[in-house]
Structure 1
Amino acid sequence: MIRGWVRLWPVLLFLGCRTLDLGAPLEPADPRPKAWLSALASRGLEPQAIRARARLDLDAPDLSFDRPQRMAVERPARLRVEILGLFAQLAAVVVTDGHRYQVYDARDGDLQEGPVDSSLLWRFARIDLDPPRAVELLLGSVRLSPELTTGTSWGFKNGEVSVERFDAKGVVREDYRFDPKGRLIEASHFGPDGAALWRAVFEDYRVLDRPNGMKIDFPYEIELNFPRVSARARLRYSAVQVEDQLPDALFKLDLPKKTSSFQTERIPEDWSRSDLGAKR
């Protein structure tokens, strides 16, 4: 609780006498926190995989860019990002099948590859997440740590609900916030000392169709903040296609080193925004 007041103190000073909704503890019998956490844990309505077009705005101490991208994302840790340059020309490609990675630089035809480790995305894109966690967030969900316990839940006047989860020492390790419909709108994870590791904000939910005909809500904007490295990223999807499974070829580059040819399966370019996500 002290951590929360310290965080809010500058806001309180700024607002002066204005009313600030700090929330109120929910009754233990309120079914929302348990139901919404269970839904998040089961991932029952979250997509297994997507193909997408997006724009990534990244700001880190030693790297900043704002580029369009084509993406393929599949649980648990398969990822392909095509970074586009001027006139939508391919500038670079990063792929991982969860075990190995490859990075292709179209400027000089250089191809780097090696085993995946937790710092892969930090080295190449200043994203302070390991690949499995990045895949989860790009798919609009978060994996809950099973060893944590749920503490007091808080309700707000606008209908939102926040839930903190603690470790055995009583340290807050996870903090989730849901909108009145039970959709995840904010997630924060903390280290064993309580220091913030990352924070994700999910916005602009739209209705998408799964291959089986079911409809799901999917966030078209995802903001990521990494306090320990003073970096932030905002991803804005422009087109999203939900898939049950993606071809293995998407996550492997069949390229000899120092070549400019591009042989692997490309993400389709004939998507239209209108048929890939209806704004709610």
Structure 2
Amino acid sequence: MNRAAAAIFLALICSGCPKRIDFGPTGPITQAEELFRLTSASQDRVATLQGDGKLRLQSPQGSGTVSAYLAASRPGLLRVEMFDFFNRPIAVLVTDGQRFGLFQAQENKYYQGPATPRNLSRFLPIALPSEELVSVMLGKVPFIPAERMTLALDNEQGLYVLTLHRGSVAQVLHIHPKYLQVVRSEVRGAPAYGLEYDGFKEQGGVLFPHEVRLVASTADTSLGLRYTDITLNESPDLTLFDLSAPEDVPVVEVDEGGEALPPVSLPPASPGS
């Protein structure tokens, strides 16, 4: 943005706002690249999360809300336990970013294999790589690799609108002007999901969204996550990410596409053994 454009931008900020916008200690930002840099830094302040929440699914196949215990640590460590209304376990997903384990209580089976988006979608209705899913849960919006950026101001909502452009694809980011946190992300020109963050609260010196909504409009599906009692940036308990199958539960090994592999046949015992 050149000086003339910046002057126009500032003039619009000062004269065209229906309500006063609090830009925080940085003041109004007029350069798209600077806003992107500061927003990226604000997203990197949370590395681990652990605690309780509620998961809500809306899809053509049905809708519902369940209680959940969640533990996540960048880049790809994740554990999600689901419980029914009576606090009985429904399912447990664990991944270290490379492999996954999934216990399905109703089937009494433990699925394990590569942590591909297809395999993780056995547990969650939206197929994402584990590292991307962890980022979303930790309040970090994945950005497209931009070739250029443009910046505007939504006077009505009081938000920056930062658009990342790559060819015919654009990612539109609505950013809080004071806290420099993304509150909404939408990708246009390519199949992708949208993100919404809300319920920002200061916790441990970090402003963190306690409500996350992931929307896959092409599949008419959304996944909502509301944190109720969590801790941030504590040293992770690595035993939570143990991929060992529960005792006395049949194990089903699956391939990258989620197809069950044939059981491994043990060689016959040699005579006299």
TM-score clears 0.5: yes
1:236-264, CA deviations, whole angstroms, 9 ceiling, x for partnerless residues? Answer: 1101101244132211243356439xxxx
Q: CA RMSD in A?
A: 2.4
Corresponding residue for residue 222 of structure 1? 212
Corresponding residue for residue 223 of structure 2? 233
Query: 170, 183, 186: which one pairs with 2:184?
Result: 186
Corresponding residue for residue 208 of structure 1? 203
Task: Tell me how far 1:152 sits from its aligned partner.
Answer: 4.0
SS in 1 for 2:55: strand
Instruction: From the superposition, tell whether residues 248 and 104 of structure 1 become closer, same or farther in structure 2 (CA, over 3 Å).
Output: same
2: CA distance, partners of 1:207 / 1:152 = 27
1:161-219, CA deviations, whole angstroms, 9 ceiling, x for partnerless residues? Answer: 1111111x3x23311101231221101234xxx0451111101100111xxxxx01111
Whether contact under 8 Å (1:225, 1:231) holds in the other structure is yes
1: CA distance, partners of 2:66 / 2:112 = 23
Task: Tell me how far 1:53 sits from its aligned partner.
Answer: 0.8
Whether contact under 8 Å (1:48, 1:245) holds in the other structure is no
Task: Tell me how far 1:35 sits from its aligned partner.
Answer: 3.5
Instruction: From the superposition, tell whether residues 33 and 204 of structure 1 become closer, same or farther in structure 2 (CA, over 3 Å).
Output: farther
Task: Tell me how far 1:63 sits from its aligned partner.
Answer: 4.5
Task: Tell me how far 1:48 sits from its aligned partner.
Answer: 0.3
Moved over 3 A (4+): 29-36, 42-45, 145-148, 256-260
Corresponding residue for residue 174 of structure 1? 171
SS in 1 for 2:86: helix
**Is 1:66 paired with 2:36?**
no
- 1:201 maps to amino acid: E
2: CA distance, partners of 1:177 / 1:244 = 29
2: CA distance, partners of 1:32 / 1:203 = 25
1:122-151, CA deviations, whole angstroms, 9 ceiling, x for partnerless residues? Answer: 232212422222111111111333443212
In structure 2, runs of 5+ residues without a counterpart are 1-17, 19-27, 251-273
SS in 2 for 1:87: coil
**Is 1:122 paired with 2:117?**
no
Task: Tell me how far 1:233 sits from its aligned partner.
Answer: 1.4
Whether contact under 8 Å (1:109, 1:257) holds in the other structure is no
Give the TM-score normalised by the residue count of structure 1: 0.72
In structure 1, runs of 5+ residues without a counterpart are 1-20, 22-28, 210-214, 261-280
Corresponding residue for residue 107 of structure 1? 106
- Aligned identity (percent) is 22
SS in 1 for 2:163: strand
1: CA distance, partners of 2:31 / 2:158 = 11
2: CA distance, partners of 1:90 / 1:236 = 19
Report the more deviating stretch, 227-236 or 35-44. 35-44
- 1:86 maps to amino acid: F
Task: Tell me how far 1:46 sits from its aligned partner.
Answer: 2.6
1:92-138, CA deviations, whole angstroms, 9 ceiling, x for partnerless residues? Answer: 10111000000012334311100111223323221242222211111
Number of residues paired by the alignment? 223
2: CA distance, partners of 1:110 / 1:103 = 8
Give the TM-score normalised by the residue count of structure 2: 0.73
